[in-house]
């Protein structure tokens, strides 16, 4: 708005020039008044006009809004949650606002560990998930430990609501349950999730294999339970048994890593591209059944871990391996020269093998010195030119005459029961970090070579009888064999 100033009245007062007095005794021109007005308004104005800004807004048209929290976008909330690592901090963040709760709850319930069978006041997490299906639907990885005389009803409700579950680890499924409880595999009934990794030790029955037949995305399977089928060793004898659901065409199409008994492995390797196989022998007739099944498939596993009970089984396993095999174990290294020559001739066929595992528990005396182990590794490398690692098992005491191997099902149950759930393979609880690496390893790999304890013994020096290592790994470094004691050799087959 502009106010016109008449030419005749130079002392006229405008709203912006109030207080600007012009002395009467001093002659004043129009330019002086205009210069003073422009200096007060701080903006250029046209001649004979003075600019006066007027604010036409009112509190009723432009109200001032106050908020207790800043309005962030969902991306900002997810970024903040991605930098919070402690589970307690995530729980506190859920109580800040609804927006933070929507972003923090998926990270808080992404990876959980449950214990079933404790006192009711100690099962707060299990009762919360059973009563809130929406929270159970946020789980991506779950580890369950079942105690003796446990009731599985609440766990079954949680699994039915966990439609996004991809990683499942169940320990203690073979223990006795509460009176009147159905078989442990009944917890999988009416479930809708598609697993990528399953590890369980519950008894093998029709319910379990019916559940496995519905898993189209499963890639890694570990089952250590009993099937209670005495005397049935041939695949034809098992066609009408509990294995019938997984013998159907199209069952478990994505499976490539398998860890189970030899009888179960003989069925699962048929019609599937199993790339990594770890099997153990429970009965005397299971080993020939497995080797015949391996020879019948067109694509052999790249990692094959089966403990051979004797020299004949070692030759049979070497014959069942394919040219693409990169890990081979655990072979009973023959003592007799002629049989060892036959084993080396079969080993010469494996052009891609990089890691070999041998059992020397039948040798007398045991090759416990580093010099003897290096000599054996150098002899093996003559026939397997691409081998870079050699693992020797059975350096403590000779193996018993029984068929059940020491590294079989019973010892695996004990070792897994003593270990904490998801101690070494827990997926990241943050969806941002999981999106960058969706394929998470399901088992621990061997630690870096620099972190392993290097032996301080010199060549030819022997430890006491009680100080021998159960397994010793030799790694070829710049043409020399480096001995590594206390190396984690159980999961080496998963690295290939």
pLDDT at residue 451, rounded to an integer: 27
How buried is residue 317: exposed, middle or buried, by Cβ count under 10 Å (0-12/13-18/19+)? buried
**Structure confidence at residue 44 (pLDDT):** 53
Of residues 334, 375, 373, 331, the one with CA closest to residue 350:
331
What are the residues facing 268 on neighbouring strands?
none
Residues 38 and 85 in one domain: no
Residues 6+ away with beta carbon under 8 Å from 117: 146, 147, 148, 149, 150, 151
Residue 154 in domain:
yes
**DSSP 3-state of 246:** helix
What are the residues whose beta carbons fall under 8 Å from the beta carbon of 139, sequence distance 6 or more?
Answer: 109, 110, 111, 112, 129, 162, 164, 165
As a whole number of angstroms, the distance between CA 52 and CA 13 comes to 13
Say what the pLDDT of residue 78 is: 87
Those residues whose C-beta lies under 8 Å from the C-beta of residue 399, and which sit 6 or more positions away, are: 359, 361, 362, 405, 406
- Range of 35's domain? 2-51
**How many structural domains does the chain have?**
2
Chain segment 76-135, per-residue pLDDT in tens: 888 998 899 899 999 999 999 899 999 999 999 999 999 998 887 678 899 999 999 999
Could you tell me if 146 and 32 lie in one domain? no
**CA–CA gap between residue 123 and residue 72 (Å, rounded):** 36
Rounded Cα gap, residues 82 and 104, in angstroms: 9
Contacts of 402 by beta carbon, 8 Å cutoff, 6+ apart: none
What are residue 143's DSSP bridge partners?
113, 169
Residue 162 falls within a domain, yes or no? yes
- Over residues 352-375, the mean pLDDT reads 91
Helix 124-131 vs helix 153-161: crossing angle, to nearest 10: 50
Any idea which of 197-211, 280-294, 455-469 has the lowest mean pLDDT?
455-469
SS3 (DSSP) at 4: strand
Residue 301 is assigned to a structural domain of this protein? yes
Beta strand 197-200 pairing with 471-477: unpaired
Q: Are residues 47 and 99 in the same domain?
A: no
Q: CATH number for the domain including 263? A: 3.80.10
Concatenate the DSSP letters of all residues of 369-435 into one string.
SHHHHHHHHHHHHHH-TT--EEEEE--SSPPPSSSS-TTSHHHHHHHHHHSPTTTTTPPPS-HHHHH
The encoded tokens of residue 450 equal: 């620099």
Q: What separation, in Å, do the N-terminal and C-terminal C-alpha atoms of the chain show?
A: 83
* 258 membership: H or E segment, kind and range: strand 257-261
Are both 26 and 79 inside the same structural domain? no
46/195 same-domain check: no
Q: Are residues 153 and 191 in the same domain?
A: yes
Measured between alpha carbons, how far is 329 from 81 in angstroms, rounded to an integer? 45
Q: Is this structure's pTM higher than 0.85?
A: no
Q: What is the pLDDT of residues 408-430, one digit of tens each?
A: 443 343 333 333 333 333 333 33
In this structure, the answer to whether residues 9 and 108 fall within a common structural domain is no
Predicted pLDDT at 260 = 94
Cα gap 495→305, rounded to integer Å:
12
Is 197 found in the same domain as 308? yes
Which of 436, 454, 481 terminates a domain? The answer is: 436
Residue 373: band (very low, low, confident or very high) from pLDDT cuts 50, 70, 90: very high
Are the C-beta atoms of residues 367 and 332 closer than 8 Å to each other?
A: no
Residue 54: count other Cβ atoms within 10 Å of its Cβ.
6
How far apart CA 112 and CA 108 sit, in angstroms, is 9
| Nearest residue to 110 via CA among 353, 390, 433, 439 | 433
Claim to verify: residue 141 and residue 16 sit in the same structural domain: no
pLDDT at 238: 54
241 within 8 A of 229, measured Cβ to Cβ:
yes
3 state DSSP class of 335: coil
Q: Percent of the chain beyond pLDDT 90? A: 44
Residues 6+ apart with CB under 8 A from 415: none
**Judgement on whether residues 47 and 86 belong to the same structural domain of the protein:** no
Give the pLDDT mean for 238-252.
79
Residue 464 within any structural domain of the chain: no
Neighbour-count burial for 175-202, b at 16+ CB within 10 Å, e otherwise: bebeeeeeebbbbbeebebebbbbbbbb
Quick one: pLDDT at residue 31? 60
User: What mean pLDDT do residues 143-168 have?
Assistant: 94
386 belongs to a structural domain: no
Q: What is the pLDDT of residues 311-350, one digit of tens each?
A: 899 999 999 999 899 999 899 999 888 999 999 999 999 9
Is 394 within a domain?
no
Does a structural domain hold residue 378? no
Q: Taking the C-alpha atoms of 209, 402, 307 and 362 in order, what is their torsion angle to the nearest 10 degrees?
A: 180
Residues 229 and 290 in one domain: yes
329 φ/ψ angles, rounded to the nearest 5 degrees? -175, 175
Q: With respect to residue 47, please indicate whether it lies within any of the assigned structural domains.
A: yes
199: which 2 tokens? 């590890």
Query: How far is residue 180 from each of residues 134, 146, 152, 187, measured CA to CA in Å?
Result: 29, 16, 11, 14
Residues 9, 107, single domain; the answer is no
User: How much is the mean pLDDT over the chain?
Assistant: 76
Domain boundary among 413, 436, 459: 436
362's tokens: 């039948």
Q: How far apart are CA 14 and CA 472, in angstroms?
A: 101
């Amino acid at each position: 708005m502009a106010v016109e100033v008449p030419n005749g009245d130079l002392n006229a007062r405008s709203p912006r020039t109030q207080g600007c007095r012009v002395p009467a005794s001093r002659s004043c021109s129009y330019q002086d008044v205009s210069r003073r007005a422009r200096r007060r308004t701080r903006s250029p104005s046209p001649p004979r006009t003075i600019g006066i800004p007027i604010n036409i807004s009112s509190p009723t048209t432009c109200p001032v809004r106050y908020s207790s929290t800043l309005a962030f976008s969902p991306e900002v909330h997810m970024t903040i949650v991605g930098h919070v690592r402690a589970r307690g901090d995530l729980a506190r963040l859920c109580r800040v606002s609804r927006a933070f709760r929507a972003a923090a709850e998926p990270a808080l319930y992404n990876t959980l560990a449950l214990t079933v069978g404790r006192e009711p006041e100690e099962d707060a997490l299990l009762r919360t998930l059973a009563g809130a299906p929406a929270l159970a639907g946020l789980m991506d990885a779950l580890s369950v430990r079942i105690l003796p005389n446990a009731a599985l009803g609440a766990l079954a409700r949680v699994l039915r609501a966990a439609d996004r579950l991809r990683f499942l680890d169940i320990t203690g499924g073979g223990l006795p349950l509460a009176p009147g409880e159905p078989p442990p595999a009944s917890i999988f009934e009416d479930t809708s999730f598609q697993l990528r990794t399953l590890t369980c030790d519950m008894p093998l029955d029709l319910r379990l294999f019916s559940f496995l037949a519905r898993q189209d995305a499963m890639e890694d399977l570990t089952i250590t339970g009993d099937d209670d089928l005495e005397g049935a060793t041939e695949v034809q004898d098992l066609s009408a048994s509990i294995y019938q659901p997984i013998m159907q065409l199209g069952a478990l199409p994505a499976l490539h890593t398998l860890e189970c008994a030899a009888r179960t492995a003989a069925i699962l390797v048929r019609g599937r591209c199993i790339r990594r196989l770890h099997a153990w022998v429970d009965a005397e007739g299971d080993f020939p059944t497995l080797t015949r099944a391996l020879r019948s498939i067109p694509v052999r596993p790249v990692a094959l871990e089966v403990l051979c009970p004797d020299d004949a089984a070692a030759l049979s396993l070497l014959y069942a391996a394919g040219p693409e095999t990169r890990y081979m174990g655990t072979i009973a290294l023959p003592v007799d020269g002629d049989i060892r020559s036959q084993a080396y001739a079969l080993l010469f066929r494996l052009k891609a093998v990089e890691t070999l595992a041998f059992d020397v528990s039948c040798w007398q005396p045991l090759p416990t010195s580093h010099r003897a182990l290096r000599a054996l590794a150098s002899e093996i490398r003559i026939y397997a030119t691409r081998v870079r690692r050699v693992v020797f098992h059975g350096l403590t005491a000779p193996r018993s005459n029984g068929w059940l191997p020491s590294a079989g099902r019973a010892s695996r149950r004990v070792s897994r029961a003593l270990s904490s759930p998801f101690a070494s393979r827990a997926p990241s609880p943050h969806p941002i970090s999981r999106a960058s690496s969706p394929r998470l390893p399901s088992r621990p790999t061997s630690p870096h070579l620099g972190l392993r304890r290097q032996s301080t013994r010199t060549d030819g020096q022997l430890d006491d009888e009680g100080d021998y290592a159960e397994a010793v790994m030799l790694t070829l470094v710049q043409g020399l064999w480096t001995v590594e004691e206390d190396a984690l050799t159980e999961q080496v087959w998963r690295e290939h």
